[in-house]
Amino acid sequence: MNRLQNKIAVITGGAQGIGYETAAKFASEGAKVVIWDVLETKGNLAVAELEKTGCTALFMKVDVTDFESAFAAAARVIERFGQIDILINNAGITRDASLLKMTPEQWKQVIDVNLTGVFHCTKAVAPFMVEKKQGRIINTSSIVGIYGNFGQTNYVATKSGIIGMTKVWARELGRKGITVNAVAPGFIATDMVKTVPEAVLKSLKEKTPLGRLGLPSDIANAYLFLSSDDASYVNGAVLSVDGGLVL
């Protein structure tokens, strides 16, 4: 299928996990994909893998916590491709600890990547979308941003904050031809959940009506829908992709 034919898509955190799966899916739908990530070796390997399928893919070393890094990368994408049609704000980290044990450093690291990073990348990319009067911005929240979760004060603050920012930007940018939506994944089998104890994962699977963890492709499909013409009237939405899990 060619649902994203010739679209230019920037995917943050695209070197692995959900982001990489998204880059592969978008490329298979005709998009030219640009991965922004801090993992240089993995990012270059990802691009080499994608190029084997004959698509156009590019890796740029970008630390989303650094505005200048995102700003310069956005300018380079414009130089190379002339526009940015889709921004997937997918990069994220966890530094879990209960409130009583969480250090200010753990708090700051997660806020810097997951929340400030989304602000930086959107701030860097949105002006180019406004100029073209079109664009799709998809932010990655989480079901824990809706329900909360033990041991994740910092992470939950960012994932709830992302829902708020999504709604603000949907209002501010909608009239300029840009839709802004969020995806709230449940528990997805990637490196991120490797630190979750097996017993907890088992209980999560049991609590999920669909009886399994999500796959990176489940989230990539949601990003694809929101980036495609099929979602042209969807704006300010938070799409839960969690197998029906209610925490």
Catalytic site positions: 155
Is residue 190 close enough to count as binding ligand NAI by CB under 6 A? Answer: yes
Identify which range of 14-22, 72-80, 124-132, 200-208 contacts ligand NAI by CB under 6 A.
14-22
Question: Measured between alpha carbons, how far is 64 from 14 in angstroms, rounded to an integer?
Answer: 12
167-191 exposure pattern, b = at least 16 Cβ within 10 A, e = fewer: bebbeebeeeebbbbbbbbbbbbbe
Site track for ligand NAI across 95-114, x = CB under 6 A: ------------------x-
Is residue 218 close enough to count as binding ligand NAI by CB under 6 A? Answer: no
Applying CB under 6 A, the site for ligand NAI has a residue count of: 30
Identify which range of 11-19, 97-105, 168-176, 224-232 contacts ligand NAI by CB under 6 A.
11-19
Neighbours of 226 (CB within 10 A): 24
Is residue 125 close enough to count as binding ligand NAI by CB under 6 A? Answer: no
To ligand NAI, the closest distance from the beta carbon of 86 in angstroms equals: 16
- Tokens representing 86 are 């889709």
Q: State which of residues 116, 122, 142, 152 lies at the interface with ligand NAI (CB under 6 A).
A: 142
Is residue 191 close enough to count as binding ligand NAI by CB under 6 A? Answer: yes
Is residue 85 close enough to count as binding ligand NAI by CB under 6 A? Answer: no
Q: Which residues of this protein are in contact with ligand NAI, per CB under 6 A?
A: 12-13, 15-19, 36-39, 62-65, 90-93, 113, 117, 140, 142, 185, 187-188, 190-193
